[in-house]
Amino acid sequence: MRAAHVRRLGSHLMWVAALAVACPAAGAKVFPYRALRRIALPAAANVSALAVVGRDLYAGQGDSVSLYAPTGALRIAHRRLDGTVRALAAVDGQIVVAVSHPSSLEFLAAKSLRVLRQRALIAASPSALLYDPAVHMLFIEDRAGHTVTRLDPQTGRTLGSVRLAGALGQMAANGRGTLYVANATHDAIDVTDARGMRYEGAIPLRRCHAPHALAMDTVGRRLFVACSNGRALIIDADLGFTFVRLPIQRGGHLRAAFAYRPLGPHGWKGGVFIAGGGALSAIQMQAFVRYRAGGRLPVTRRITALALAPAAGVLWLAVARGGGKPAALWRLAAPVSESQ
Amino acid sequence: MNRHLSGLRILALSVGLATILMPQAQAALVPWSQLAGKTVLFVTGGKASPKPNDDALVARHLRKLGFVVRTVDAAVAPSAADGAALIVISSTADAHELGEKFADTTVPVFTWNTFDYPNLGMTGPVLHRDFDVIDPVQHYADSFAVLYGFGANITSEISRAVGLRPQLFGTLYLEPETAGWGRPGPGGTVIADFFGSRRYAAVFTYEREATLENGRTAPARRVGFYLGNDDFHLLTAVYGPPAADPNLRHWAIGLKLFDAALRWAASPPPPPPLYDPQALDAALRRAARGTKVLYVERVNGGEGRRSDAHIVAHLRRLGFEVTVTDQTAPQSVARGMDLVIISGTCSKWKLANKYVDAPIPLISLEGLLSDSLHFAGRDRYTDYGEHGELLESDDPPENYLDIVGAWSPMAAGLKPGPMKFTYHPGVLKWAWPLPDATVIATLPNEPREDAIFGYPKGARMADGFIAPARRALLPLDNPSYDDMTPQGKALFDAVVLWAIRR
């Protein structure tokens, strides 16, 4: 009884802290979202991957994939698979799931989550999936095997592979056939010509250590990199030139997401969100050449996945279980004044 | 005793020869390794600096290049520069507080403090006319224009180090930003400019001994750079796979330009040439052996005939193999020659466009050919002209020149300032060459009317023409040669020597 009370108190304190960050004095950088709903997940495993299609959310947790309604209150569909879900990607009306133990690629129907196709994967330990809809390219990353493979997005057939030495982080694609991969070992972004899966070289990152998180604005051709030493870089991908450096939280294994109008049609022009290291940071895009720190929300629980649903003006966070609490999904949305 | 004197004479002669034969352009940039450990006095605004600023980033960059950086504020005493290899002045330092304290220092200065340019004599004193700072608040539209620079000079050491081309390049990264420009005097070298005009120099230099805009002599190298307070981090550069694209490589050169200009400033300049007509004569005799000169004149042409004959005789006496040809002869007569000299007796009309593209050095004694030879633009009396020609010139006859490029071997070791070129006032020609030219002398009180200058091979000349070999102007009107002072003759010889030197 007392433990539950303390937990509740702790939880309240955390929300007070979050609110304090979210509503600081006028003129300070205000984090644009507020956590509106926390959904405790029943299963023991943490959420390993999130994907958004329109306003719907897909979550991979343990050996299953679930589809949630935009409000997060309702789980619409659920599918158990034969292995552990490692990554999700929305591909032309289907949900592609990378599964390990055994490694396979599962193609699910978007609404029912019915398994449409399966394909065994060579990758021993798939770590991430990325789909570039502009060029219909699907990539799967195997961090343990230091490889990135391009797959046929319809069949899962291997089309090419590139080996990248070092500790690989998030992938990003430019919509024109170039794939970028954060390389935490070399403090660089590895660049691959995705058509031939040919390594083209690396963009060095000055004063950025162990970059793990990577996102891309394919219109402005900007790469957003989050570095473990508390720096976010904004790079002109056409020049490999870092033109903005902003402070963010320190910490390894950060992850990032970018979207236009992330708060809905009347909010920010664009935003980058960086999760991990005990916080969620925002970078506001004001113009293609102008960005500013957009506030920070402390998140004491470990963040395991992040997804933006700009159509709904929502940011989804998956937080790990711990401290006696189950894994959870947090649904964050902008206050009315921010989104309108 | 005699042997001693003779030894001394040989020594003096060899020193003279060495300085005369010294490469014309600035001495090569020293490698960074040779600058490692040298001290840079970095002058900033200190606590009074406007914010934001990139001074800390610049200091870090200087350290990364190997310099030992001593950061001081504008109130520092000039003696603080003693022992430093370079003074770097940030725009955050208050120019009024800086005053003229570094104007006479023999330590090279690299500055982006535009308002301090006049204090250093690098530009005139009038804001908006002699220098200006473009910023996004006061000059919003222009603050986009300064994102683009133009490679005005492609042959200076800095330009070569950067691979600067006569084309646009990105100065700063894309945001409307603050940048300064200056209008250096004729002794300055414009490396890059804004708005497509050399009048708005983005990067410019003065070699040691070059004449500053205020008429004083640069006591050491000076560099003006276009940066603002907080845009060092926006100096363009290209990294990773995009660097494989040569067009991007030649576009994003802001940081390279900064580094190359810094390295040039910190590199030791060539020793100043000494005025020693004997040594010059000896050097010229050595160079003349086996050198074939085509002397183009108006054969039997009136008032300049005697002068032409005396010039040819002088060249032959030095050992040149001189062929005299008439202005109407076809250009094919230049085949096999090593140097073309076009006499002031030639008619522009009759000479037509001959020798313009001759792949051998060329000296024109006729300034009015400056447009056809691509020495200058085509606007007569604006881009080129003459003083003292009856009915053709508004300006009176003149016999003095103002030496502004004393550091160059073409100046024959003459001191900066006025020198008597001919004994009697007469006709003197001038032109306003492009920034690739090294200007040696101007007409007095006319800093834009350059009487002696030279373009190195590969230089960008007027009309986009690239110099196929060296090109020089000497302002000798038809009969002037016979009236030249010894200093004037030394200039003549020094220019000839510069033109044929390999």
Among B239, B266, B293, which residue terminates a domain?
Answer: B266
**CB count, 10 Å around CB of B490?**
21
As given in the structure block, the two tokens for residue A46 are: 């943490």
Question: Would you put residue A278 in left (φ > 0), alpha (ψ -120 to 50) or beta?
Answer: left
Whether B81 has its CB under 8 Å from any CB of chain A: the answer is no
Question: What is the spatial distance between Cα B254 and Cα B242, in angstroms, rounded to a whole number?
Answer: 16
Mean pLDDT value across residues A65-71: 92
B334 within domain boundaries? yes
Spell out the residues 6+ positions from residue B186 whose beta carbon is closer than 8 angstroms to its own. B211, B404, B439, B442, B447, B448, B450
Q: What is the pLDDT of residues A175-195, one digit of tens each?
A: 999 999 999 999 999 999 999
Q: Do B191 and B230 sit in the same domain of this protein?
A: yes
SS3 B224: strand
Interface test with A, best of B239, B249, B251, B255 (most A CBs within 10 A): B239
Instruction: Name the strand (E) or helix (H) holding A237.
Output: none
For residue range B342-357, what is the model confidence (pLDDT) as tens digits?
A: 999 999 999 999 999 9
Residue B291 sits in the same domain as residue B217: no
Contact A240 B242 (CB under 8 A): yes
User: Is residue A154 packed enough to be buried (19+ CB in 10 Å), middle (13-18) or exposed (0-12)?
Assistant: middle
CA neighbours within 13 Å on the CB side: how many for B479? 9
Measure A79 CA to nearest chain B CA, in Å.
43
Rounded to two decimals, the ipTM of the complex is 0.86
Contact A241 B238 (CB under 8 A): yes
Give the number of beta-carbon pairs within 8 Å between A and B.
49
Report the C-alpha gap between B304 and B326 in whole angstroms. 13
| Contact assignment for B238 to A243 by CB distance below 8 Å | no
Q: Which site among A241, A242, A243, A244 would you substitute to test the B interface, given the most B Cβ atoms closer than 10 Å to its Cβ?
A: A241
Residue A232 lies in domain:
28-339
Work out the angle between the directed axes of helices B277-288 and B305-318 (0-180°, nearest 10). 80
Q: What is the DSSP letter of A254?
A: -
- Which residue is it, tokens 């599964």? A99
Task: Examine residue A4 and state whether it is found in any structural domain, yes or no.
Answer: no
**Window 344-403 of B, Cβ < 8 Å to A:** none
Contact assessment for residue A67 and residue A75, using Cβ atoms and an 8 Å cutoff: yes
Cβ of B240 within 8 Å of Cβ of A243? The answer is: no
Out of A191, A204, A289, the one facing B175 most closely (by C-beta) is A289
The secondary element (H helix, E strand) that includes residue B16 is helix B2-21
> Residue A5 pLDDT > 70, yes or no?
no
Q: Are β-strands B438-443 and B400-403 bridged in parallel, bridged antiparallel, or unpaired?
A: antiparallel
Task: Flag if B240 and A240 touch (Cβ within 8 Å).
Answer: yes
Q: From CA A257, how far away is CA B216, in angstroms rounded?
A: 59
Distance from CA of B94 to the nearest CA of A (A): 27
CA distance A33 to chain B (A): 28
Does any domain span residue B6? Answer: no
Where does B39-128 have alpha helices with state H? 55-64, 95-98, 117-120
DSSP string, B313-377: HHHHHHT-EEEEEETTS-GGGGTT-SEEEE-TTS-HHHHTTTTTT-SS-EEES-GGGTTTTTSS-
Q: Is the pLDDT of residue A11 over 50?
A: no
Q: Is residue A7 part of a domain?
A: no
Same domain, B253 and B305: no
Contact call for B173 and A189, based on CB within 8 A: no
Query: By the 8 A CB rule, do B323 and B341 touch?
Result: no
The helix (H) or strand (E) run that includes residue B256 is helix B254-266
Number of structural domains found in chain A: 1
For residues B58 and B160, state if they share a domain. yes
What does each of the 502 residues of chain B score in pLDDT, given as a tens digit?
Answer: 444 545 444 444 444 444 444 444 445 799 999 999 999 999 999 999 999 999 999 999 999 999 999 999 999 999 999 999 999 999 999 999 999 999 999 999 999 999 999 999 999 999 999 999 999 999 999 999 999 999 999 999 999 999 999 999 999 998 888 999 999 999 999 999 999 899 999 999 999 999 999 999 999 999 999 999 999 999 999 999 999 999 999 999 999 999 999 999 999 999 989 999 999 999 999 999 999 999 999 998 778 899 999 999 999 999 999 999 999 999 999 999 999 999 999 999 999 999 999 999 999 999 999 999 999 999 999 999 999 888 778 889 999 999 999 999 999 999 999 999 999 999 999 999 999 999 999 999 999 999 999 999 999 999 999 999 999 999 988 789 999 999 999 999 999 999 999 7
Average pLDDT over residues A61-82: 92
State residue A15's pLDDT score.
Answer: 44
Quickly count helices (H) and strands (E) in chain A. 2, 28
- Contact flag A241-B237 (C-beta cutoff 8 Å): yes
- The token duo for B202 is 């983005």
- Pull the structure tokens for residue A209: 């250590």
Return the CATH number at A236. 2.130.10.10
- Is residue B261 located within the same domain as residue B147? yes
Q: With 0-12 CB in 10 A as exposed, 13-18 as middle and 19+ as buried, what is B391?
A: exposed
Cβ-defined contact of B173 to A289 (cutoff 8 Å): yes
Q: Give the pLDDT confidence score for residue B27 in this predicted structure.
A: 54
Q: Which pLDDT score is estimated for A2?
A: 46
- How many domains, chain B? 2
* Residues recorded for chain A: 340
Q: Is residue B256 assigned to a domain?
A: yes
B179 at A interface, C-beta within 8 A: no
d(CA A265, CA A311) in angstroms, rounded, equals 8
The Cα–Cα gap between B437 and B455 comes to 4
Range of the domain at B429: 277-500
Question: Considering the domain boundaries, does residue A101 fall inside one?
Answer: yes
A241 closest CB neighbour out of B173, B175, B244: B173
| Pairwise CB contact (< 8 Å): A191 & B248 | no
| Rounded Cα gap, residues B105 and B101, in angstroms | 8
Query: Do A63 and A44 meet the contact criterion of CB atoms below 8 Å apart?
Result: no
Say what the pLDDT of residue A23 is. Answer: 36
Q: Do the Cβ atoms of A290 and B174 come within 8 Å?
A: no
Measured CA to CA in angstroms, residue A75 lies from A52, A57, A71, B36, B255 at distances of 14, 10, 10, 65, 55
Which residues have CB under 8 Å from B314's CB, separation 6+? Answer: none
Q: Would the CA dihedral through B480, B485, B487, B490 be positive or negative? A: positive
How far is the CA of B405 from the CAs of B154, B202, B206, B252, B261, in angstroms? 19, 21, 9, 32, 19
Q: How far is CA B292 from its chain centroid?
A: 28
Same-domain status, B254 and B359: no
A191: which chain B residues are within 8 Å (Cβ-Cβ)? 240-241
**Is B138 in the same domain as B215?**
yes
Give tens-digit pLDDT for A114-139. 999 999 987 678 999 999 999 999 99
Q: What are phi and psi of B80, to 5 degrees?
A: -60, -20
Q: Of the candidates B175, B233, B242, which has its C-beta nearest A238's C-beta?
A: B242
Which of 224-253 (B) contact A at CB < 8 A?
A: 233-234, 236-244, 248, 252
In chain B, residues with a C-beta closer than 8 Å to the C-beta of A200 are 241
Q: How far apart are the first and last CA of chain A?
A: 43
| pLDDT on residue A336 | 62
Chain A contact for B127, CB < 8 A? Answer: no
pLDDT band at A266 (very low <50, low <70, confident <90, very high): confident
Which tokens belong to B183? 């209008």
Q: Which of B431, B456, B440, B437 is nearest to B406 (CA)?
A: B440
Q: Is B323 found in the same domain as B444?
A: yes
Q: How far is B266 from chain A (nearest CA, A)?
A: 26
Q: Is A88 helix (H, G, I), strand (E, B) or coil?
A: strand
- Please indicate, yes or no, if residue B9 is contained in any of the structural domains: no
Kindly determine whether residue B240 and residue A191, on different chains, have CB atoms separated by under 8 Å: yes
Does A238 sit within 8 Å of B244, measured CB to CB?
no
Cβ contact, residue pair B240, A236, below 8 Å: no
3-class state of residue B154 by DSSP: coil
Rounded to the nearest angstrom, the minimum Cα separation between B234 and chain A is 6
Give the pLDDT confidence score for residue A323 in this predicted structure.
87
CB contact under 8 A, A204 and B238: no
Whether A238 has a pLDDT exceeding 80, the answer reads yes
Residues B256 and B293 in one domain: no
Report whether B240 contacts A240 (CB < 8 A). yes
Verify whether the Cβ–Cβ distance A204 to B239 is below 8 Å.
Answer: yes
- Cβ contact A240–B239 (<8 Å): yes
User: What distance in Å separates the CA atoms of residue A277 and residue A299, rounded to the nearest whole number?
Assistant: 8
CATH number where B430 lies: 3.40.50.880
Specify if A260 maps to a domain.
yes
Q: How many CB atoms lie within 10 A of CB B111?
A: 28
Q: Quick check: is A17 in a domain?
A: no
Assess whether B250 and B392 both reside in one domain: no
B77 domain residue, yes or no = yes
- Least CB–CB distance from A241: residue in B236, B241, B244: B236
- Return d(Cα B171, Cα B174) in angstroms, integer: 9
Clarify whether residues B317 and B223 are in a common domain.
Answer: no
Say if residue B161 is in the same domain as residue B218. yes
Which residues are A171's β-sheet partners? A181
Instruction: Answer yes or no: is A13 within a domain.
Output: no
Alpha carbon distance A150, A162 (integer Å): 9
